[in-house]
Every structure is written in structure tokens, then in C-alpha cells.
Amino acid sequence: PSHPNNLSLLSVARAKPTKYFFQKPAIAKARAHDQAFRVRGGGTLTRARLGSEDSSTADSVVAAGIPGVLGPSDPLIPDSAAMGSKEGVAFGNREIPKVNIEKEGDPTTYNAIISAMKEQKVPFRHLIHEPTPTSEDSLAVRKKGGWEDCTLASGAKAMLIVNSKDKENPYKLAVMPADKKLNWKLFKKFWPKGKGARMATVDEVKAITRCLPGGVPPFGSFFGRSVSGLPEADSETKKFVVETIVDPSLRGEKRINFNCGLRTRSVSILFADYIKLENPTVKTFCDA
């Protein structure tokens, strides 16, 4: 299998993944056969990995529900854990492969969000994949990676909006379902003088979010933060507070998915946990 830092993790499992359902007997059996479920480098658990004698168990569990991040010594935790089950949680007991900066980019924002979720004990699913600059690309690799419950609507699209006429608070982050479109007439009203509001340029996105377009996560409050052991954020970035504004249509999704600061790493969390973690403003700005 591929090395955990190899971005071509989706090619690891040759067998076609089975749709999994979770039953307590199967979970117990998985724990009893812990060694059999250890995966190097990730991918969806398949019948081929378990052998024919364990095919029934293969139909009932997946490897941690976090394809792409399990290491060679990581025990199985059912995907129900990532969904908030009392069976366990999808954080804390395994190390997510470090970011390959040369291939993946600046990890500052990504590391800040991952650290915050671990500290606040927010269960999350994590997937490493090929770069996905668009919402449609992201949906395709997430489904291919085993996240069968993903939809375009559950993708939390984040757009950095700039109003250069507001010198104190020129930036706002618009967060909406990936199948929705921003209504500029509505969004411009969120500034006293927002007539000149526009999409941020690529250079502005990099400077403020430390991300590439397509990798911007729905967490404006994290832009400019630093994490222990990483370089301090740019002083220019720290001058601004980026308000996160979420369209209420995203509340219809129990679980949201997004590129977490990098085009190569997806995270999935419950919408309720996202609200607790980010505490965004909720206002309508999408077309119906």
C-alpha cells in the first residue's frame, strides 16, 4: 500500500468498496480481530482486505471512518464513532500524517483547525486526497474515498469577500452549501457602505487565510492564528478580524464537509459542532 504521505491514497483499495451498516456484534468482532483491520496508508475497508472468512464483518464496519489517515499501528474505530456514537471518537488516539508542505502547501490554518477540534473533543472524519480546487472535484474524491453520505449541498463552500472601502473590517467569509450561489445584492448590505464589495483576489486569499482558493475552510475566526511550533502568522493578517457569515440554508445539513485549509485534506463534522467551534453570524445571502 501507499505511504501515508502519498497523495494517491485513493488507489490503495483495488476491490470495490461495499456499503457498510453498523451493528454491535460486527463492531465487537472487529475489535476482537483488531490486527486484521489495521491499514497502511488509508482507503476504504474492503472484503479483499479482510479475506473471505470475514466478509460479513466487512459489510458492517469501515476503518475508522477516516480513510487515508490510519497508520500501521492504529486500531480500528468504527465510523459510527465519527458520527458521534458512544462507541468511540475519531480523534486523539492516532496521528494524522504530517502535511507535505512542498506538495500540499502552507499547513498553518489546517493545523490550527485540527488542533482546535482535538482540544474541544469534536469528533471528525478526515480524508487525504488529490488536490481538489472545486466543490465538484471535492465531492467526487470524497465519495471515491468512502464518504458515501456526501452530497454537493453538504459541502460548506467558503468565499472570502473584500470591501476595500471599510478600512477597519474589509473582509468577510461567506459560507454556504456548495450547490448554492451568493446573491451579491444581499451580501453587500452586510457593510454600511458595501457597494464595492467583491471576491478576494488569489493574493488576498493567500495573505489573509494562508490557503489557496479551493482550500479555504469555513472558519474565518482561525485566519491569522498560529499553532505551537509553527511560524507566527503575518502581522498584516492579524490586523483584521474576518467575520464568518453562514447562510441559513446550510443548517439543513446534519453533517458538513469541507477542504480544511488545504486542497488535499477534507474534514467532515456535524453542523452543530461547527456552530459551537466557529460561532458564525447567520444571515441570508444565497439565491433561493
88 φ/ψ angles, rounded to the nearest 5 degrees: 160, -175
What is the helix (H) or strand (E) element at residue 115, kind and residue range? helix 108-119
pLDDT digits (tens, 9 = 90+) for 68-94: 333 222 233 333 333 332 222 343 445
**Residue range 25-69, pLDDT digits in tens:** 444 444 443 333 333 233 333 333 333 333 333 222 233 333 333
Tell me the mean pLDDT per 10 residues along the chain, length 288: 39 36 41 35 33 31 32 30 32 70 94 95 95 96 94 97 90 97 96 93 93 96 63 50 96 97 97 97 93
pTM above 0.75, yes or no: no
Check if the beta carbon of residue 131 is closer than 8 Å to that of residue 156: no
As a whole number of angstroms, the distance between CA 235 and CA 224 comes to 8
